[in-house]
Amino acid sequence: MARKTLSAPVKIVGAASTSTILETATSGDSQTAGTVLWTADGDLQTENVGGIRQTLGPWCKTDITTSLTTATAQVLAGVAGMAEIAMIRPGSVVGVAACFNAAITTSTLRVCVSKNGTTFFSAINAATGVRSIYGTQNKGTDTFVAGDRIGIKLVTTATYAPTTLEGVFTVQIED
């Protein structure tokens, strides 16, 4: 008899005749909380039903100037045209973050996540004097499929300062 403790929510995959979950399990039964104790005569497969979050990046941008409308950050510093990362499987964008080498002193900077070149989620500094910006949202709000490209775009106002700011950006996804 084998015993295994799983800490993440799991879905039980397999016929009831080859596994016993607590008292009785049928194919498709699931346990979403607590500890699952099981014994198996053969192989018992489990599948994670909770989302897994991953951080993409970093993207980099130097000399963030005024009146930007869709300036792109680069995935690899010094490699022109490398502004997006291709997705391997479907998922959702659940967050974006930025860190700068100096504080934003005037106006706003919007950090946008793009999918295939089109902005679909963003975060903006709420106050001046900040050196970082972040934003989060629920899973399933802005989704992508395998093969979509995720990137970072920046938007500033005409009065934005300083104009020599440099930033590093990350995107959090969940599948």
Q: Where are the domains of the chain?
A: 10-48, 53-174
Q: What are the pLDDT digits (tens) for 62-91?
A: 888 888 887 888 887 667 778 999 999 999
How is domain 53-174 classified at the architecture level of CATH? Sandwich (2.60)
pLDDT tops 90 at residue 118: yes
Q: Taking residues 10-26, what's their average pLDDT?
A: 44
- Our CA angle for 68, 121, 133, nearest 5°, is 70
Per-residue pLDDT reduced to its tens digit, 31-61: 444 444 444 444 545 454 557 899 999 999 9
pLDDT at 108: 86
Using DSSP bridges, classify how beta strands 19-21 and 38-40 pair: parallel, antiparallel or unpaired. antiparallel
Report if pTM > 0.85.
Answer: no
